Structure 1
Amino acid sequence: MVTANSNSLRSVFNLLKFTYVIVPIVAGLDKFTNILTTWENYLNPSLEPMLPFSPHIFMMIVGVIEIVAGVIVLIKPQIGGLIVAAWLTLIAITLITSGRYFDIAVRDLTMAIGAFSMSRLATFIKA
C-alpha cells in the first residue's frame, strides 16, 4: 500500500495552483493586446452573428473573466479550480463544435483535468 507524503502533495498542489493562477491571468491580459495570438480567430464563427458587439470586445470580456478566475484560484483554490476546469471545458466544446482547432480543444481539456485535480487536492490538503 502506498501512503501519501503530505510534503509531496503540498508541492504538487502548489505547482498546480501557481500554474492555474498565472496562466488564466496571462491569457486574460493578452486578450487586450493579442501578443500571444489573435484570440478572435478562435471564436466559433457561428457565434459571431449573435454577438451584440465585435469579436474583439467579446474577447476582452473573456479576458476579464479569465483574470477573475485566476484571482479566485489564488484566494480559494478549491472553488477557483472548478471554475477554471469548467471554463476550459466550455472553451474546448466551443472549439470542437466549430470544427476547427481540435488540438487546442484537446489541450484545454487536459488543462481542465489539471485544474479539477488541483481543486481536489485543495480539498484533501485543506488549502
Structure 2
Amino acid sequence: MQPNQEFSRPDVFHPIGLQNPQHQAYRILQVGFVLLPIITGVDKFFHFLVNWDKYLAPVVNRMVGGHGHGFMLVAGVVEIAAGIGVALKPTIFAYVVAAWLLGIIINLLLIPGFYDVALRDFGLFLGALALARLSAAYSVHTANK
C-alpha cells in the first residue's frame, strides 16, 4: 500500500444506485416495512394468518373497556397507514413503525408465554430503526434536497 492511498470510509456518501450495497439494503428494508405492516394490518380484519386478538394483553384489554377486538381493528388501520407512510415518507414513518413495534413489545411482555414473539418483534424494531437511519441518505425525498 502506498502512503497516500485512502481507505473507503463509512462517512463518505456513496452514490444511489442498484449496484450500491447500502442502497440495496435500504430498499430491502423499505419494501419489507411497507408490506409487513399492510399485510398484518389487513389481516386484523380477516384473521387469515392468526387471530390477532390473542396477542392483546389482558391488562390492555381491560384498559380499553373489554373491547379488545375493536382495539385490534384500530391497530390494523394504524398499521396499514404506517405501511403506506413508509412507502411515501420513510424518513418519518420508519420511526413511527419503530415506535409502534416498541408498543407491541411492551404489550407482549405483559403476556406470559409470548416472550419469543416479543424478541422477534425487537428484531423488527431494530430493522425499522436501521431503515429510518438509511432513509436519511437514500430516501427520494432526502436525495432531492
Deviation beyond 3 Å, 4+ runs, structure 1: 1-6
Alignment of 1:8-27 (within 5 A): 8-27=21-40
Name stretches of at least 5 consecutive residues in structure 2 with no aligned partner.
1-6, 141-145
Q: Secondary structure at the match of 2:34?
A: helix
CA displacement 1:17-47 (0-9 Å, x = unmatched): 0000000000000000011001000000112
Compare the two structures and name the one with the higher helix fraction.
1
Q: Distance in 2 between matches of 1:119 and 1:98?
A: 29
Q: Distance in 2 between matches of 1:92 and 1:29?
A: 20
1:68 aligns with 2:81: yes
Give the TM-score taking structure 2 as reference length: 0.81
How far has the Cα of 1:10 moved from its partner? Answer: 1.0
Contact in 2 for aligned 1:92/1:109 (Cα 8 Å): yes
Aligned length: 127
Percent of residue pairs identical: 35
Which residue does the alignment assign to 1:54? Answer: 67
Larger radius of gyration: 2
Root-mean-square deviation (CA, aligned residues, Å) is: 1.5
Most deviating of 37-46 and 51-60: 51-60
Alignment of 1:1-127 (within 5 A): 1-3=7-9, 6=15, 7-52=20-65, 54-127=67-140
Name stretches of at least 5 consecutive residues in structure 1 with no aligned partner.
none
Give the TM-score taking structure 1 as reference length: 0.92
